[in-house]
């Protein structure tokens, strides 16, 4: 969780060197990733078919890739799945946005004030010890069956890793760097803006990477546990399971995994652009 991002990129506040070149590099990176993902999908489908044929699996338990792809094809043309995907997507994005924002704000406050850290830290540790899923019924009572109970649950998932990582990043400056700011007569804001903030970015993106995918898990889980008014992908999973629509179920799972991969790609791509300076100094 605390590991620093791998090769990423430089943030130049002003003057970026040859921006076109670095943008080109980033887009090649994204393209290569997409092709790699497609290749992996192909291999997975192949292995799946081989498994089904070799072990002669009952299609009621595990359908083959072809009926699943057919089901997925039918699903993708119906508006039901799109509106469900949109609901789940919104829950994940809002939950992530709120959780990450609160996490960053608290991390900054704690890193800037030792007193606040000592006062608040025990509560945060206690909060983290709660299995968040157990809070779902509570959130449903508080925030209703719509998307907001899910958003809040996902926010509680995201908040902690973001806060812990960013706090560590903000405090990862060396004593010489801190002394440099002191002998330069930097104000508290300048020390934050020119030193600590940049130091925290690799840690922050590592947390984003870890928690973004977790957000989808959280969204589906919350929908499984209680969706009433909002029909998300998790709700569809539940419906298909109860009607033994295995091909439909696997279709949703495939879609979710694609979602996860796309999210991951967005975070890694952003990190490469924002952390350009970190590329050669990282490991």
Partner 1 sequence: MTLAQSEPRVDTFEGSITLRDVTMEFTTRDRASIRAVDTTSLTIPSGQFVSVLGPSGCGKSTLLRMIAGLMPPTSGSVSIGGEPVSGPSRKVGIAFQTPSLLEWYTVAENIALPARMGRRPADKRSVERRVEELLATVKLASLGGKYPSELSGGMRQRVAIARSLITDPAVILMDEPFGALDAITREHMHDELLSIWRESGATVLFITHDIAEAVYLSDRIVVMSPRPGRIVADIANELPRPRSSATRALPEFTRLASELRVHINH
Q: Is residue 242 within the footprint of partner 1 (CB under 8 A)?
A: no
185: left (phi over 0), alpha (psi -120 to 50) or beta: left
Length of the chain: 283
Q: How far apart, in whole angstroms, are the C-alpha atoms of residue 246 and residue 44?
A: 18
Q: Is residue 15 within the footprint of partner 1 (CB under 8 A)?
A: yes
Q: Residue 112 corresponds to which tokens in the numbers above? A: 């800037």
Q: How far apart, in whole angstroms, are the C-alpha atoms of residue 255 and residue 237?
A: 11
Q: Which stretch binds partner 1 (CB under 8 A): 80-88, 91-99, 162-170, 177-185?
A: 177-185
Q: Is residue 172 within the footprint of partner 1 (CB under 8 A)?
A: no
Q: Is residue 12 within the footprint of partner 1 (CB under 8 A)?
A: yes
Q: How many residues bind partner 1 (CB under 8 A)?
A: 28
| Alpha helix stretches (DSSP H) within the chain | 19-55, 65-77, 79-112, 114-129, 136-143, 147-170, 175-183, 188-191, 197-225, 233-242, 246-274, 278-281
Q: Which stretch binds partner 1 (CB under 8 A): 32-40, 138-146, 212-220, 275-283?
A: 275-283
Q: Which one of residues 186, 213, 253, 261 is an interface residue with partner 1 (CB under 8 A)?
A: 186
Q: Is residue 53 within the footprint of partner 1 (CB under 8 A)?
A: no
Q: How far apart, in whole angstroms, are the C-alpha atoms of residue 220 and residue 180?
A: 48
Q: Is residue 25 within the footprint of partner 1 (CB under 8 A)?
A: no
The single residue listed with the structure tokens 């508006």 is: 79
Q: Is residue 13 within the footprint of partner 1 (CB under 8 A)?
A: yes
Complex with partner 1: residue 118 or 182, whichever CB lies closer: 182
Distances (CA, A) of 217 to 74, 146, 157, 211: 24, 17, 10, 10
For residues 95-134, which are near partner 1 according to CB under 8 A? none
Q: Which one of residues 27, 39, 182, 258 is an interface residue with partner 1 (CB under 8 A)?
A: 182
Q: Which one of residues 30, 45, 69, 180 is an interface residue with partner 1 (CB under 8 A)?
A: 180
Residue numbers of the site for partner 1 (CB under 8 A)? 10-15, 17, 174, 176-177, 179-187, 190, 194-195, 198, 277-281
């Amino acid at each position: 969780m605390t590991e620093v991002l791998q090769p990423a990129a430089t943030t130049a506040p002003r003057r970026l060197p040859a921006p076109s070149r670095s943008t080109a590099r980033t887009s090649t990176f994204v393209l290569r990733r997409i092709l790699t993902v497609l290749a992996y999908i192909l291999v997975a489908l192949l292995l799946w078919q081989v498994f089904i044929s070799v072990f002669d699996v009952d299609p009621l338990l595990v359908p083959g890739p072809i009926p699943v792809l057919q089901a997925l094809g039918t699903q993708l043309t119906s508006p039901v799945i799109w509106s469900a995907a949109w609901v789940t997507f919104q829950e994940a994005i809002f939950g992530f946005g709120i959780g990450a924002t609160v996490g960053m704000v608290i991390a900054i406050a704690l890193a800037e004030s030792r007193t606040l850290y000592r006062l608040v830290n025990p509560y945060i540790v206690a909060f983290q010890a709660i299995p968040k899923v157990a809070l779902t019924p509570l959130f449903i009572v508080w925030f209703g069956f719509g998307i907001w109970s899910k958003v809040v649950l996902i926010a509680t998932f995201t908040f902690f890793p973001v806060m812990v990582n960013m706090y560590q990043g903000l405090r990862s400056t060396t004593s010489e760097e801190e002394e440099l700011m002191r002998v330069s007569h930097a104000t508290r804001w300048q020390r934050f803006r020119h030193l600590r903030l940049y130091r925290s970015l690799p840690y922050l993106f590592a947390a984003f990477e870890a928690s973004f995918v977790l957000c989808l898990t959280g969204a589906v889980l919350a929908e499984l546990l209680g969706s009433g008014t909002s029909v998300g992908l998790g709700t569809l999973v539940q419906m298909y399971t109860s009607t033994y629509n295995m091909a439909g179920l696997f279709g949703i799972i495939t879609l979710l995994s694609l979602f996860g991969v796309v999210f991951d790609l967005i975070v890694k791509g952003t990190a490469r652009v924002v952390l350009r300076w970190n590329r050669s100094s990282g490991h």
